[in-house]
Structure 1
């Protein structure tokens, strides 16, 4: 979930009480400083021998709706927010990878899209298989982001 700025998850949901206390960057983070990118960075840097990865469609219709529930933004705004979020994580966590295809899909795993989605002829299924087998993979981002590349 992306937010348009730092969020205080503690006030309403007491989320900080349940962050991993053994990860100093999370334990020291003040509630009004929290962003999803900072969370990924803290966890990935604490576990540098692990690879962390994420799938997001560049115009994910569900995330757009929840980021801008009152219509204060659209898919173009959300795409720019996502790109900035991914760039921040990748700059600060060398063990992080992202697969960002075009289109509006939300939740790839329970769908055929897990097998059909591709970027530059690399299917998501194959990208995940390489990750799982310990092969190095690059982050991939759609070129023509208006629709998903399907194979």
Structure 2
């Protein structure tokens, strides 16, 4: 057992050393995670004219039960497993990676608020710092300061990071009006109950877009972005029965484990949410069968195919400023 633990420690140190070779930590003065620990983001240097702005996923919390210290529904401090595993878009050495050679800014998530919170909440005996907006803004300011005139910017994120991407994309598009900017939300389609309290609890920073309501649905944000920035490219990916998204929808409905009825309701609402912005010509989507959650951090990014369209080709076209076809099983 001791030898096994020693091996784990050795591997952890080796991975951490390898991480620092590729990803440089940027400390954020005043940045804070849910548990009060310090915040930092990571940059893998590359071509300064091509930049990926990537928001990490990691659940959410909105009440005493989901936000408790024992709750498994959200990250409380900076963790970077995606960078250590180096799969999907994090495989910086793969020639097949559409973003090989790009500068990659990775925005960790540790506040339980979809990267947009501006509140510190007392849940009765413990506090949670929902300060995702402060942390995300630090990464954006770094991007704008160090990349004044990029040619291409790709804004993305998996799960909770998909919400971070869509809710902050307006700032990127407004700043880089002469660049090719694309947004791709990975497995965060925005299905929620009518009485979901999260946004009231978090006091979120929301996109500044014409005609957008104070409590918008995610599909409404995609549509508003597509109309306000016709030169941009906007996209979503999800599986048709995403297990993680179904799980969180079940929590919103008061279920510890989602029922079959909840799964069906989520699937129907998700299909509407993904296809509704399709009235905009510069919006597209890729729907895949199954229940897997996210694709960008996974090796399946390089192998998934729906019909005649490989996901890798679809993603590469989006990164190049094109609007790839709408794909569904």
TM tier relative to shorter chain: 0.7 to 0.9
Cross-structure match for 1:25: 211
The CA deviation string for residues 40-83 of structure 1, in whole angstroms up to 9 with x for no partner, is: 11122111111101110111000001112213643332221111
Deviation for aligned residue 1:112:
1.0
Cross-structure match for 1:76: 264
| Alignment counterpart, residue 41 of structure 1, candidates 201, 210, 223 | 223
Equivalent residues in 2 for 1:93-112, closer than 5 Å: 93-112=280-299
Cross-structure match for 2:66: none
Structure 1: gaps spanning 5 or more residues: 143-151
The CA deviation string for residues 84-120 of structure 1, in whole angstroms up to 9 with x for no partner, is: 11221112x3211110000111110111111111111
The alignment's C-alpha RMSD in Å is 2.0
Q: Please tell me whether the aligned partners of residues 99 and 139 of structure 1 are also in contact (alpha carbons under 8 angstroms).
A: yes
Larger strand proportion, structure 1 or 2? 2
Structure 2: gaps spanning 5 or more residues: 1-189
The 1-side partners of 2:262 and 2:217 are apart by 20
TM-score (norm 2): 0.38
TM-score (norm 1): 0.78
The 1-side partners of 2:281 and 2:292 are apart by 27
Q: Find out whether 1:55 has 2:251 as its counterpart.
A: no
Q: Please tell me whether the aligned partners of residues 4 and 81 of structure 1 are also in contact (alpha carbons under 8 angstroms).
A: no
Deviation for aligned residue 1:5:
4.1
Q: Find out whether 1:86 has 2:274 as its counterpart.
A: yes
**Which sits farther off after the overlay, 1-10 or 81-90?**
1-10
The 1-side partners of 2:304 and 2:198 are apart by 33
The CA deviation string for residues 118-149 of structure 1, in whole angstroms up to 9 with x for no partner, is: 1113111111111222344211011xxxxxxx
Cross-structure match for 1:13: 202
Aligned residues: 134
Cross-structure match for 1:123: 310
Q: Please state whether the residue corresponding to 2:239 is helix, strand or coil.
A: coil
Cross-structure match for 2:247: 65
Q: Please state whether the residue corresponding to 2:211 is helix, strand or coil.
A: helix
